[in-house]
Structure 1
Amino acid sequence: MNTNSGGNEFGRGAAPQAGPIVPKTANEALRPEKGTPPPARRSRKSRSQVIVFLNFMLSLVLLAMVGAGLAVYLGKKAFIEPGPSVSGDTFLVKPSTGVAQIAEQLERRGLISDARIFRIGVRAYDNDQALKAGEYEIKPHASMREIMELLKSGKSVTYALTIPEGLTVHQAFERIAAHEALAGDMPAQLPPEGSIATDTLRFTRGATRQQMIDKLMADQKALVAEIWARRDSDLPLADENEFVTLASIVEKETSRGDERSRIAGVFLNRLRKGMRLQSDPTIIYGLFGGKGKPSDRPIYQSDIEKPTPYNTYTINGLPPAPIANPGRASLEAVANPSKTEDLYFVADGTGGHAFATTLKEHNENVARYRAWQRKQAAEAAKAPAGQPAGEGEASGATSTQ
């Protein structure tokens, strides 16, 4: 009996035996299985938009870099090239003024072309805290960099205050008050006569009047103390006040350096002998004080005889205080006077003085001087109007008798 009829050798319903496994090719392996969706692919259009955007951004970056480089180049060029000012000018930087404000002021004054470039340039050089207050002389066509270096240097414009020898304190204060570069008010009260140094002070705009006065007073005090400390030991002077007082009289008697020591010697000789000093400048100070005699006002005979605390024709010894501010030369002359027997002197008509040891010699010198005065007057009368007849000492020249 055939038991396998209608079936296979495994029996009915059995699964057929699998055949030999054939490996897939590379292409077949990469193919997706049926029923699996293919991976998303970026379209050519999408890829093109990304590339365009990236190219655009790169172009922007490059353009920005080029623009920045150009801006730096042009800014640096403007910072170092000659400036717009044709004539130059002075420029004042007040204390605590910032770079931005300085830049704006420079531009408004026409000293730079662009405040922003100046501000950026100063900061690029790390000088935004280095600019100093002061007044500066900016040269024509100065570049922004040159201006920056000038303001950084602190080399300000300086001014001079000069107090000549022989001025009174009142006259010195008039000069200080009138100086336009000084700031601040004047003191309400004048310091003592003779306490102001006769000197030239250098300062920058904005210095105060009080600072100048304090400096002049301190300098005079130090100078007087220095010279008084090395004076001749036999001077008939009691203290520094008498020392400065006599020096102020010598200062007003002559401006010639070769005569100061000899004139000081005359006055000291007279003090030793108890003679009155009879100095014309003391008459003037007694009458007019620190304001001084008007230039067109002569000394009258009645002035000589008019008693005042300062008139050495009517008082014995020295006045109570100086009559002017003496300079170093007059102080030195009194501290170390010429050793002579002279007791008199009178103007000689040449800008100097004739000295004498006796009254007889002195009267002869006075007569010669009076004759010279008459000659000058006669020549003046003959000269055409407006033409000077000659030079000589003004009326009222000192004659110590």
Structure 2
Amino acid sequence: MLKKLKFLIKLGIVGMTILFLAIFLHSNLHKGKTVRVSNGATFSGITSHLKSRDIIYSSFLFKTFIYFMGDAKSLKSGTYYFPAKSSLWGVYNTLISGKTSFERMTIPEGLTVQQIVEMLEKKDGISGKCPKNLKDGTLLPETYFYDYGISCSAIIRQMKNMMTKTVNEVWKNRSKNLILKSKKELLILASIVEKETSVARERGIVASVFINRLEKGMKLQTDPTVVYAITKGYGHMRGKPIFLRHLKIDSPYNTYKNYGLPPAPIANPGKASLKASANPSKTSYIFFVADGTGGHIFARTNAEHERNRQKWRKIKKEKNKPPS
């Protein structure tokens, strides 16, 4: 009887030692992952989910350890981030802490509200319908962090507040001689700049071209305003080209027909384009055309601009030439 007891004690010690060592072994997780533990999920369901996502390497050892700790009912629902090679001990501590991870979403610069709403309604973790009748130029493109289950209305409100704050700050630090008369005009110009270039060093120069044209009483003649009119505010041609007939479309947004700025922003500009529009570069450029590398060539005269356009046509022709 004594021998049997000693054997059981030794066996228990060995088992406890193995379990103790096992809880500190690293999982097969090679890259950190964010995992959602649903409210009301059972302990077995949580364990199976963690195993299927490679957060834990053994369901049996995880269950044994949790039962030993007496914390099966202490695991909290929420969205958690588990770093690479998390141990059972690390996973356990994360789940009982209730320190949930934030979801992350980046809104690219230059999208319209229609495009942003599309993104939000497809994004996992955002609930409810987005507000209707949103206006372009009211949502700041930025990286946002939020709790899983946030309503679309709440995150839209956050974007609006960020845009208001950013515009106020940029407007306060605008150039003294800026021709733009209001924050709305700043947003309109910045939205055009945003759509015309994604090259950081060019933003101030592109803004200067439009400022110079406004000062000279010239039409802005910018394609993105036409695209906005054609697509009824969607802002993207979905792969279709712009034809000459499109430049004659009857719309207050068509800057080939109308003088001055369009009546409202044509997209949601980022902070960099707002800054560039509030403090444009000092240039005498009034034209620009694509240079074939993603940037633009700028010109002061129509003759110079025509030469640049010929270069661009040649580049396009070479690009479209079938391989020999």
SS in 1 for 2:162: helix
**1:137 aligns to 2:82 (yes or no):** yes
Taking structure 1 as reference, are residues 79 and 321 closer, same or farther at Cα in structure 2, changes over 3 Å only? farther
SS in 2 for 1:113: helix
Deviation of the 1:243 alpha carbon: 0.5
Taking structure 1 as reference, are residues 113 and 375 closer, same or farther at Cα in structure 2, changes over 3 Å only? closer
1:261 equivalent in structure 2: 204
Taking structure 1 as reference, are residues 116 and 355 closer, same or farther at Cα in structure 2, changes over 3 Å only? closer
| Matches of 1:340 and 1:139, distance apart in 2 | 51
Preserved CA contact (<8 Å) 1:169 1:192: yes
2:240 equivalent in structure 1: 297
| Matches of 1:329 and 1:211, distance apart in 2 | 25
1:113 aligns with one of 57, 60, 72: 60
Q: Structure 1 vs Structure 2: percent identity of aligned residues?
A: 33
The runs of 5 or more residues in structure 1 that have no matched partner are 1-58, 385-401
| Matches of 2:48 and 2:77, distance apart in 1 | 20
SS in 2 for 1:345: strand
Preserved CA contact (<8 Å) 1:265 1:338: yes
1:360 equivalent in structure 2: 303
Preserved CA contact (<8 Å) 2:27 2:87: no
CA RMSD of aligned residues (A): 3.5
List per-residue Cα deviations over 1:166-223 (Å, max 9, x = no partner): 111111111111122x231222404110212111223453333333322222212211
Preserved CA contact (<8 Å) 2:188 2:265: yes
State the TM-score, normalized to the length of structure 2. 0.81
Deviation of the 1:272 alpha carbon: 1.4
Taking structure 1 as reference, are residues 69 and 206 closer, same or farther at Cα in structure 2, changes over 3 Å only? farther
The runs of 5 or more residues in structure 2 that have no matched partner are none
Preserved CA contact (<8 Å) 1:262 1:337: yes
Deviation of the 1:256 alpha carbon: 1.1
1:22 equivalent in structure 2: none
SS in 1 for 2:200: coil
Preserved CA contact (<8 Å) 2:117 2:130: no
Deviation of the 1:132 alpha carbon: 6.6
Larger relative contact order (C-alpha < 8 A, sep ≥ 6)?
Answer: 2
SS in 2 for 1:233: coil
| Matches of 2:289 and 2:174, distance apart in 1 | 27
Taking structure 1 as reference, are residues 130 and 320 closer, same or farther at Cα in structure 2, changes over 3 Å only? same
- How is 1:172-187 mapped onto 2 (pairs within 5 angstroms)? 172-180=116-124, 182-187=125-130
Taking structure 1 as reference, are residues 360 and 329 closer, same or farther at Cα in structure 2, changes over 3 Å only? same
List per-residue Cα deviations over 1:27-73 (Å, max 9, x = no partner): xxxxxxxxxxxxxxxxxxxxxxxxxxxxxxxx9xx9xx99x989996
Deviation of the 1:356 alpha carbon: 1.9
Preserved CA contact (<8 Å) 1:345 1:362: yes
Preserved CA contact (<8 Å) 1:166 1:325: yes
SS in 1 for 2:114: helix
- How is 1:2-401 mapped onto 2 (pairs within 5 angstroms)? 80-82=20-22, 87=28, 91-94=35-38, 103-109=43-49, 112-113=59-60, 115=63, 118-119=66-67, 121-122=69-70, 131=76, 133-137=78-82, 142-143=87-88, 145-154=89-98, 156-180=100-124, 182-377=125-320, 380-381=321-322, 383-384=323-324
| Matches of 1:206 and 1:93, distance apart in 2 | 12
* 1:92 counterpart letter in structure 2: R
1:392 equivalent in structure 2: none
SS in 1 for 2:232: helix
State the TM-score, normalized to the length of structure 1. 0.66
- Please identify the structure whose Cα radius of gyration is greater: 1
